[in-house]
Structure 1
Amino acid sequence: MVERSSRFHRSRYEKYRGGPDPLAPPLDLREALDEIGADVMAGTSPQRALRELLRRGTDGMRGLDELREQISRRRNELLKKRNLDGTFAEIRELLDRAVLEERKQLARDLDDDARFAEMQIGNLPPSTAAAVNELAEYDWRSPSARADYEKIRDLLGRELLEQRFAGMKEALEGADESDRQAITDMLADLNDLLAKHNRGEDTTEAFDEFMAKHGQFFPENPADTAELVESLAKRSAAAQQFYNSLSPEQRAELDQLSQQAFGSPELMAALAGVDAQLQMARPDLDWDGSQGFSGDQPMGFGEAAAAMADLAELDQLGEAMSQQYAGADLADIDLEALARQLGPQAAVDARTLQRLEQALRDQGFFERGVDGELRLSPKAMRQLGQSVLADIADRLTGRGERATRQSGRLGEPTGATREWAFGDTEPWDVSRTITNAVMREASAGEFRAGRPVRLDISDVEITETEARSQAAVVLLVDTSFSMEMEGRWTPMKRTAIALNHLISTRFRTDELEIIAFGREARTIDVGELAGLSPRMEQGTNLHHALLLAQRHLRRHPNATPVVLIVTDGEPTAHLDPSGHPFFFYPPHPETIGLTVAELDHVARMGAQVTIFRLGEDPGLAMFIDNVARRIGGRVVAPDVDGLGAAVVGDYLRGRRG
């Protein structure tokens, strides 16, 4: 009979705490760019749009504002929960206990000296510090009373050292005279080292000697004098802020009590020398600040100094999160400090924001214009155009149309292929599709000779085609201030961006020109239009815009002319014979006459004219209806949200004849 034994191994799974999640999805730059693009089209500069994105964050990633708010809550919690009375209360308790035990002992003693001691004990001043100082030379009869009094001196020394050197309170508990002497020697040598550093001397050798002798007092193990100064100066500044935060009465008490630290006034003199040297080395720290603690949880001197250091660190983090100072950079955020104060997830979120900003810049989504201002790059505009067009395509598809995939209908192959997407009607490229399937199965180790190849939807590629005819397209967009006032500014821009992307990617033989018209008209590229800010300017100079449109149509005499006009107001401006704009409201008869004449010229060029009327202005509706009948054009009155779908759909209908 064979006896078998089995062992079971248990595994415990916990949340990953080693920094950013290695299994987290990559940064979604497309979503970030969409949000930036929306702000830019609304009139925000690209630089500010980027900052706004980082401030508000994205889905699943906290932004700077939320992190800053958490920092503020953490800061308020510290101030409202804690107070600075801890060590004072502890000293008072030890003193009261020592006096009580001494009185008990004196009551049992019957000699005259005991009666004199009772008088001395009974007439102690009410001030804790004054009483402690008066008892400095008192000959205690009760051993327990003497022990409690010595605890006061020991506690004072440890707390004052804890303010400047982390961990001293626990390390020196129950310290003897040799331990105190070691502290005294360390402070003397530290003063010498800091003095050399402040004089600009080379302290490499002196630092090594100092650490070899006193390294046990510095568990953080600084690498050089600069690191030592950095860590000590922040705690020293926090100790000074603690002192500044005390009431005048508490400061007076502390000044007197500190003379009894370890029973040696020399300790305070040495600490004062260290503080002076550190302030000279780091005058940039806040040595004059104070904090208003108002809670009911008392803190000792050392704990309070640590809380002051936490508050200073929180203030620095809050400033870095605000990004409101000159030369602000997300790299200024101290991730280690953020993790200490708010936990590791906060540091992960901040690191993700840093990576997002860097990725957007590294991917070339921003560039400097000729004026030095940051603007969206052509690459960013392509991405933005693709996103906007996809959104418009959803609207068109909902109306039973397939707007974005019509480039191949009745077209000829271009020789290029692309991945199939929902809505495509172009023929499959069989060779490329099967090759993709074979490569996919081979990379996954699933390919077997002689076995049928299984196709996946991701394998399918289609043959790209182009329409046979060429069109010269002019998009005239109204940029008068009423477009901004009525909420039509951003939809107008989205429309232009979508049409530009559609033509540049699906109808590459078509020639698009965008013309913006307010009091004057000008041709404008889509990138400039995206960042165009509204101007407080009256005037709708459709006359000038039509003149520029005809120039574009003449440059392409063999192309089908297509004119698309987006406006929300009657023509109120025209160019006078000198070339200067003339504005008058209500519309001047001369303005109307010149505008209609140019529409007639466009119609005689054979252009398909569609006017997209925004708003319910009866004067505009009458003008456009009359003009459309006159030149055989079309009028479309979409709502603001449907403008893009209306313009793109009209263009595609024209392409399909």
Structure 2
Amino acid sequence: MSANARYLPYDGSDPLAPPVDLRDALQAIGDDVMAGSSPRHALQELLRRGSKNMKGLDDLAMQAHRKRREMLQRSNLGGTLDEVKKLLDKAVLEERKELARALDDEARFAEMQIAELPPSTAQAVQELSDYDWRSPAARADYEKIRDLLGREMLDQRFAGMKQALENATDEDKQRIDEMLSDLNDLLDAHAQGTDTDEQFQDFMDKHGQYFPENPKNVDELLDSLAQRAAAAQRLRNSLTPDQRAELDALAQNAFGSPSLLGQLDRLDQHLRAARPGEDWEGSQRFRGDQGMGLGEGTSSLQEIAELEQLGDQLSQQYAGAQLDDIDMDALARHLGNEATADVRTLSELEKALQQEGYLDKGPDGQWRLSPKAMRQLGESALKDVAGRLSGRAGQRDTRRAGAMGEPTGASRPWEFGDTEPWDVTRTITNAVLRESPGRSAPARRRDPGRVPVKLRVVDVEVAETEQRAQAAVALLVDTSFSMVMEGRWMPMKRTALALNHLVTTRFRGDDLQLIGFGRHAQTLTASELAGLDGVYEQGTNLHHALLLAGRHLRRNPNAQPVVLIVTDGEPTAHLEPEGYAHFDYPPSMRTLGLTVKELDNLAKLGAQVTIFRLGDDPGLARFVDRMAHRVGGRVVAPDLDGLGAAVVSDYMRSRRATGR
């Protein structure tokens, strides 16, 4: 056995479950960011929704709320009163049987007394407190009422007392009375600031069996007692006025002595003063058929309160919410180990995204998608485009014989879009090393026939070549509000990411500029465009965007100029010399004239212009057709799903046209 092997407690997780898929998680976050969410909010939404292989917080919160609802629908709070009534009816019946066999006048008087008992259970119990029972069985049942009430009153404050004190002796009751007195003395001293650790330890040594929570100090003792006492108060608040009156009257007979009630009242006062933040005023509506005793009802309300708190923690809807806020012990106690494993998986996902560098904080302290994340999203978008390109007849093959430059002597791993030839020697070597990681190089040379060589994509390396031509590419994307309203926002962003990834990883000599245009135009990085929010702002300022595109092309005088325009509306704004945008709808002649003039300037630079028209607006169709015809450009009218493939395909077409 390895010396590094360690054994840890089982945490309830599935050992055969697949690892957290960061790629899928990043894609989901990226989609939300491109739709307008902040990275932090997008991460929270992913944790809330989960995925097909990962249960989200919403599912767990629903489990907690469902369990709470089932408890309320299953039970009611009449258990103690029903049990007392049954014991009373049994005692009265046994007494009547005994009296019927007696022939003396006192028996007749007792029969009259029994017959005149009030209908209220509590009042009947009170009137019988001094009754001289003739039937031993009846007397025993009546004493059970007193014991039951005493145990229920204690069980409300100390869980398990009802069972622990069943058939309790007078000595047991005396010890309980002594514990309550000592407890109140300890809390008196604590309230006055005169208690000591030694006093607390003496109390626990003497009465620790009544506190299974094993508190370490007075504050922990107060916490556990106050939570249950508050639940007991909420139970009382949940009773009907008649039920409260009955129980208040019955409480006077607990253990046959009013001293218990006095001690408990004194304890409640201490707890309310020490922990005013507990929920002392709330209530719950139980609607079921299963009656609960006072102690059981208190435990149920305590459990319901925990489930409510757990549901709030799982919902993560409050300010500053974090997964670390979730009480894992309460989660396991109420929903099981599988639920705790699900939360740990979500927590690992959140931490892994940060540790792997997909999320980082910007200068303003806000979370953002890192450059690594943007490359991943761009790669994903490009793969999606590649899949669509494969179905476009005559547009998939981007390789041309003789189009490459001279080999540089270097090689690199193959990636999608590479048109360079394979480096066969490096490719085969990679396959051999991968298939035989444990064998030494001399051993492989002595017995090469035993080494199976199976090529995989990860083995392939291509020979790098010198570039013959470069392109200066300007991608102009419409960011007006109509793009958001018509559902074109996300396809536009994914298109830009795909083209950006293709250029930066496969055609590194090309210079791509992303330009967004609404009321104004602006140059954008891929991450800025991905996080751009849709703003309700009138204006499609293609004129300003073409100005920025011209500036970009002039910075690259030796590169082939390429201009790609994605828009869903006619130009309705232009940039005035003073720097402000002028808006007109329908488009003014000045706006159209300035836009066409700037397009002519790009044509003079030799730019290849392609306009991708989105939507079926006839006015837009006529305008872009005329513009394209004027500068010898092209118009493409793709559907939204095919936008990315259309733009990338056109870029590749322009690259082929340069002779590369």
TM score, norm. by length of structure 1? 0.92
Residue 203 of structure 1 deviates from its aligned partner by 3.9
Question: Residues 353-395 of structure 1, C-alpha deviation per residue, up to 9 Å, x if partnerless?
Answer: 2222233233333344455543322222112111111111111
In 2, distance between residues paired with 1:563 and 1:352?
A: 46
Residue 42 of structure 1 deviates from its aligned partner by 1.6
**Residue equivalent to 2:183:** 190
Residue 564 of structure 1 deviates from its aligned partner by 0.8
Letter in 2 for 1:590: R
Residues 431 and 455 in structure 2, CA contact (< 8 A), matched pair in contact too? no
The answer on 1:633 being equivalent to 2:633 is yes
In 2, distance between residues paired with 1:453 and 1:614?
A: 55
Residue 464 of structure 1 deviates from its aligned partner by 5.6
In 2, distance between residues paired with 1:190 and 1:383?
A: 63
**Residue equivalent to 1:7:** none
In 2, distance between residues paired with 1:634 and 1:421?
A: 26
Residues 42 and 489 in structure 1, CA contact (< 8 A), matched pair in contact too? yes
Residues 393 and 404 in structure 1, CA contact (< 8 A), matched pair in contact too? no
**Residue equivalent to 1:481:** 481
Identity of aligned residues (%): 60
In 2, distance between residues paired with 1:407 and 1:288?
A: 83
Output aligned runs, 1:322-341, within 5 Å: 322-341=315-334
Residue 208 of structure 1 deviates from its aligned partner by 1.9
Residues 81 and 296 in structure 1, CA contact (< 8 A), matched pair in contact too? yes
Q: Which runs of 5+ in 1 are unaligned?
A: 1-15
Residues 431 and 454 in structure 2, CA contact (< 8 A), matched pair in contact too? no
The answer on 1:156 being equivalent to 2:155 is no
**Residue equivalent to 2:298:** 305
In 1, distance between residues paired with 2:193 and 2:372?
A: 51
Question: Residues 71-123 of structure 1, C-alpha deviation per residue, up to 9 Å, x if partnerless?
Answer: 22222211122100111101100011111111111222223332332222222
- CA 1:111–1:406 in 2, change beyond 3 Å: closer, same or farther? farther
Residues 193 and 203 in structure 1, CA contact (< 8 A), matched pair in contact too? no
**Residue equivalent to 2:5:** none
Letter in 2 for 1:279: R
Residue 274 of structure 1 deviates from its aligned partner by 2.0
**Residue equivalent to 1:92:** 85
**Residue equivalent to 2:560:** 560
Output aligned runs, 1:189-588, within 5 Å: 189-201=182-194, 203-370=196-363, 372-399=365-392, 402=396, 410=404, 412=407, 415-418=410-413, 426-428=421-423, 430-431=425-426, 433-435=428-430, 437-438=432-433, 440-443=435-438, 450=447, 451-458=449-456, 460-463=459-462, 465=464, 467-588=467-588
Residue 228 of structure 1 deviates from its aligned partner by 2.4
- CA 1:423–1:126 in 2, change beyond 3 Å: closer, same or farther? farther
In 2, distance between residues paired with 1:618 and 1:169?
A: 82
Residues 164 and 232 in structure 1, CA contact (< 8 A), matched pair in contact too? yes
Residues 418 and 506 in structure 2, CA contact (< 8 A), matched pair in contact too? no
Residues 493 and 529 in structure 1, CA contact (< 8 A), matched pair in contact too? yes
Residue 479 of structure 1 deviates from its aligned partner by 1.1
Question: Residues 280-337 of structure 1, C-alpha deviation per residue, up to 9 Å, x if partnerless?
Answer: 2222110111111111111111111111011111111122223222222222121221
Question: Residues 522-546 of structure 1, C-alpha deviation per residue, up to 9 Å, x if partnerless?
Answer: 1111111111112222222111111
Letter in 2 for 1:364: G
Residue 565 of structure 1 deviates from its aligned partner by 0.8
* Secondary structure in structure 2 of the residue aligned to 1:549: helix
Residues 520 and 544 in structure 1, CA contact (< 8 A), matched pair in contact too? yes
- CA 1:326–1:555 in 2, change beyond 3 Å: closer, same or farther? same
- CA 1:36–1:329 in 2, change beyond 3 Å: closer, same or farther? same
In 2, distance between residues paired with 1:419 and 1:276?
A: 76
Instruction: Select which of 105, 117, 124 maps to 1:112.
Output: 105
* Secondary structure in structure 1 of the residue aligned to 2:436: helix
Residues 491 and 643 in structure 1, CA contact (< 8 A), matched pair in contact too? yes
Residues 389 and 404 in structure 1, CA contact (< 8 A), matched pair in contact too? no
Instruction: Select which of 118, 122, 125 maps to 1:129.
Output: 122
In 2, distance between residues paired with 1:175 and 1:445?
A: 79
- CA 1:420–1:43 in 2, change beyond 3 Å: closer, same or farther? closer
Letter in 2 for 1:633: G
Letter in 2 for 1:415: A
Aligned residues: 642
Output aligned runs, 1:590-609, within 5 Å: 590-609=590-609
Residue 409 of structure 1 deviates from its aligned partner by 7.1
Question: Residues 14-38 of structure 1, C-alpha deviation per residue, up to 9 Å, x if partnerless?
Answer: xx97422233222112111111211
Instruction: Select which of 39, 43, 58 maps to 1:46.
Output: 39
**Residue equivalent to 1:11:** none
Residue 594 of structure 1 deviates from its aligned partner by 1.6
Q: Which runs of 5+ in 2 are unaligned?
A: 1-8
Output aligned runs, 1:142-181, within 5 Å: 142-181=135-174
Question: Residues 424-469 of structure 1, C-alpha deviation per residue, up to 9 Å, x if partnerless?
Answer: 8741453464355335434499987514311234462312636432
In 2, distance between residues paired with 1:262 and 1:416?
A: 91
* Secondary structure in structure 2 of the residue aligned to 1:533: coil
